[in-house]
Chains A and B, each alone.
Chain A
Amino acid sequence: MTSITLDNLHIRYPRQPHPVLDGLALAVQSGELLALLGPSGSGKSTILKLIAGIERPDTGDICFDGQSILSIPANRRNAVLMFQKAYLFPFMSIEENISFGLKVQGAACATIRAAVRRMLELVELPGIERKFPAQLSGGEQQRVALARALVTRPRVLMLDEPLSSLDTNVRATLQEAIRRIQRELGLTTILVTHDLSEAMVLADRVALLLDGRIEACAAPRVLFQRPPTRNAARFVGVSTFLEGTVEQCHLQSTLGRLSLPHNTAGPSRPATFAIRPEHLRLLNGAADEASNALPGTITDMIYRGEATEYQVRIADQQVRVRQFSADTDHAPGTVVWVQFPPEHLFEVEGA
């Protein structure tokens, strides 16, 4: 079990205007699965390469259990990185591939054979020792790569979008497999992904990486329901932001006056609140002050199967509303009341 601390990491590639990582700090607890979530080009993979030792930071420090590992070469860090592609050595059999790490360590033949068999059972592909990588499907190759990464019992496992090249069904099965194995072995794991739902499914905690910095780091539920900043909120699918002044548990916003949760008492101040599209409700009849609703006109409707999405214009601002009960359709042009349940309104930082 190993904890990882990243401290003030800077890295900048030559001839590029912006640094890839700019003062990044992050702590991964022992035995946890942390997802690094972010758009492509946000520096996620670079972080893994720094921890693995394939690249070096310009400044900053990386510690395992409080001890700096920067002076340890990549092949002695015992931190295994698994890439998007399986990178099975094409000229080696599956057994030779999986046992690569053990052979490097100089393990005995009998130990190796037993370990390979155990690993193949763990990834649910028993009996394929004699096959070659080219004979396996993409999903099977990724499983073998996972077995190869796990066989040496690494201190840290890093997964760089290992499932993004696979089709949806295979991906779901492999997500389950990764989750199960990681919990079983209690491995400190960092998963890089640009897929929000994958991060939600797999991670104990999610760190959102935007522009080379950690924008937010929280448990999946917290990040999804209460993202702390405006950029984080946008990334997890929030599009409705209400700017205005908070006074006496009310928000006097550009859209209108709304009640807020009761813990927002205090002196009057400017603030931005946000709400998830699925927490907004469309009221059929007219509404009063008590229902905390604002009138608007429906401009667009998209039927998505499990939900229906409406674009509602309220006082020149577009508000996205996601309704799960699709019994009633509201045609574009209809005037509706949009309810803002106070318990779902949350404050975000940043303009």
Chain B
Amino acid sequence: MFRRCKEIGHAAHGARTKQDVLHCFMMHQRLFATTYTLTRLVLYLVLLAPVAVFVLHAFSVRWFYPQVLPAEWTLEPLLRQLGNADTREALWNSTQIALLVSVLSLLVGYPAARVLGLRSFRGKSIVYLLLFLPTIIPPVATGIGLNILFLRLQLTGTIFGVALVHLIPVLPYVVFTLASVFARYDINFEHQARVLGASGWRIFQTVTLPLVLPGLMVAGLFAFLISWSEYLLTLLIGGGRVLTLPLLLFSLVSGGNPTSISALALLFVALPALAVALTSRYLGTEAGIRFQGGAGLGRGDK
């Protein structure tokens, strides 16, 4: 940038002295800083505006046309939503299902990702493609097919059945996230622990788990978020008996009361936002940094 300033300086006003060049340089820097701030503000606006509308609606009473902002603020719609039995049931169900899906998907995804990330074998790309299929095939197709199977297994209308079916859209993300963790994982850490006398289970607890924990957290978060906002599969397998937040939200939207919709939408966003915040905070702590910059996690030379 400095050199460019120099050139511009020479060309534009024939500046020769050091001060002129320096002045030009500082002007450029200031311009850059301003552009940066402006871009950031626009981004905030675009990202936060939809949420802001919800906040305005959810916390206001009597907000009529000519007013830019609501005249009165209140917590009443939010408390009313929280007091509603349906909302409480949906919130509880959604939490249960999302947590169950996180745990199940990590249990199933971990071994698969470990093999895919560490080993090379014939047909590996085909396995990747197969894992990716659920995100391509319309969920209605798989959902209706599984509905018949789940009916026979008496899993329809149960929390567990819904959690199971959520694994379909969730697993590709979990496996891909973890496979990339294992692709840059150095198996020699485990070999080192083994020759030092540790058994398989001990190695998993004391070496492997701490090394891949940040990856597990991110994958688990993905699982939680995808399950939390899943609508169609919940409807098909839950059969209306398992009420989750997305189902409740959809039925409210058809009712058309902006205040209750907004209050529920805020509740819907609150828990995932909290989960994201906590995870990113953990990954930024000393433990996370030590993991990333630690004594070499890259693949060994051998």
User: Per a CB cutoff under 8 Å, which of B191, B198, B210, B290 touches A100?
Assistant: B198
CB proximity of B298 to chain A, nearest CB, Å: 9
- Is B128 positioned at the interface, with any CB of A under 8 Å from its CB? no
Contacts of A91 in B (CB 8 A): 210-211, 287, 290-291, 294
Chain B residue nearest to A132 (CB atoms) is B290
Q: What total of chain B residues lie within 8 Å of the partner, measured CB to CB?
A: 28
Contacts of B295 in A (CB 8 A): 86-88, 90, 133-134, 136, 141
Q: Mark B270-302, 1 if CB is under 8 A from A, else 0.
A: 000000000000000001001101111100111
Known: A81-B192, A84-B300. A89 touches B210 (CB 8 A): yes
Interface residues of chain B: helix, strand, loop or mixed (majority): helix
Contacts of B186 in A (CB 8 A): 87
Q: Mark A35-58, 1 if CB is under 8 A from B, else 0.
A: 000000000010001001110000
CA distance A76 to B199 in the complex (A): 9
CB proximity of A125 to chain B, nearest CB, Å: 15
Is the Cβ of A104 less than 8 Å from the Cβ of B196?
Answer: yes
User: Per a CB cutoff under 8 Å, which of B188, B197, B301 touches A75?
Assistant: B197
User: Per a CB cutoff under 8 Å, which of A45, A77, A104, A136 touches B198?
Assistant: A104
User: Per a CB cutoff under 8 Å, which of A74, A76, A87, A149 touches B188?
Assistant: A87
User: Per a CB cutoff under 8 Å, which of A79, A100, A152 touches B193?
Assistant: A100
Is the Cβ of A90 less than 8 Å from the Cβ of B291?
Answer: yes
Contacts of A100 in B (CB 8 A): 193, 196, 198, 206
- B:183-229 near A, CB below 8 Å: 186, 188-189, 191-199, 202, 206-207, 210-211
Contacts of A165 in B (CB 8 A): 301
Contacts of B191 in A (CB 8 A): 49, 52, 54, 74, 81, 83
Is the Cβ of B301 less than 8 Å from the Cβ of A85?
Answer: yes
Q: Please report the number of residue pairs spanning A and B whose Cβ atoms sit closer than 8 angstroms.
A: 93
Q: What total of chain A residues lie within 8 Å of the partner, measured CB to CB?
A: 36
- A:293-339 near B, CB below 8 Å: none
Is the Cβ of A87 less than 8 Å from the Cβ of B294?
Answer: no
Chain B residue nearest to A141 (CB atoms) is B295
User: Per a CB cutoff under 8 Å, which of B189, B196, B297, B302 touches A148?
Assistant: B196
CA distance A52 to B294 in the complex (A): 26
CA distance A226 to B188 in the complex (A): 38
Is the Cβ of A104 less than 8 Å from the Cβ of B210?
Answer: no
Chain B residue nearest to A44 (CB atoms) is B302
Q: Mark A210-249, 1 if CB is under 8 A from B, else 0.
A: 0000000000000000000000000000000000000000
Is the Cβ of B188 less than 8 Å from the Cβ of A101?
Answer: no
CB proximity of A342 to chain B, nearest CB, Å: 45
Is the Cβ of A54 less than 8 Å from the Cβ of B195?
Answer: yes
Known: A91-B294, A134-B294. A75 touches B210 (CB 8 A): no
Contacts of B189 in A (CB 8 A): 87, 89
Chain A residue nearest to B210 (CB atoms) is A91
- Is A191 positioned at the interface, with any CB of B under 8 Å from its CB? no
Is the Cβ of B195 less than 8 Å from the Cβ of A52?
Answer: yes
Chain A residue nearest to B300 (CB atoms) is A85
Q: Mark A146-166, 1 if CB is under 8 A from B, else 0.
A: 001100100000001000010
- Is A80 positioned at the interface, with any CB of B under 8 Å from its CB? yes
Contacts of A160 in B (CB 8 A): 302
- Is A105 positioned at the interface, with any CB of B under 8 Å from its CB? yes
User: Per a CB cutoff under 8 Å, which of A45, A85, A105 touches B197?
Assistant: A105
Is the Cβ of B210 less than 8 Å from the Cβ of A53?
Answer: no
- Is A8 positioned at the interface, with any CB of B under 8 Å from its CB? no
CB proximity of B195 to chain A, nearest CB, Å: 5
Is the Cβ of B290 less than 8 Å from the Cβ of A83?
Answer: no
Known: A85-B296, A85-B301, A87-B189. A134 touches B195 (CB 8 A): no
Contacts of B290 in A (CB 8 A): 90-91, 132, 134
CA distance A132 to B286 in the complex (A): 12
Chain B residue nearest to A164 (CB atoms) is B301
- Is A78 positioned at the interface, with any CB of B under 8 Å from its CB? yes
Contacts of A89 in B (CB 8 A): 189, 193, 206-207, 210-211
Chain B residue nearest to A54 (CB atoms) is B191
Known: A133-B294, A134-B294, A148-B196. 6 other contacts (CB 8 A): A80-B195, A81-B192, A84-B302, A87-B186, A87-B189, A91-B287
A sample of 20 inter-chain contacts (CB < 8 A) reads A52-B191, A54-B194, A75-B194, A75-B195, A81-B191, A81-B192, A83-B300, A83-B302, A84-B300, A85-B188, A85-B301, A87-B188, A89-B210, A90-B296, A91-B211, A91-B294, A100-B193, A100-B198, A104-B197, A134-B294
Interface residues, chain B, with chain A CB atoms under 8 Å away = 186, 188-189, 191-199, 202, 206-207, 210-211, 287, 290-291, 293-297, 300-302
Task: Pick the 3 closest A-B CB pairs, nearest first.
Answer: A90-B294, A133-B295, A101-B196
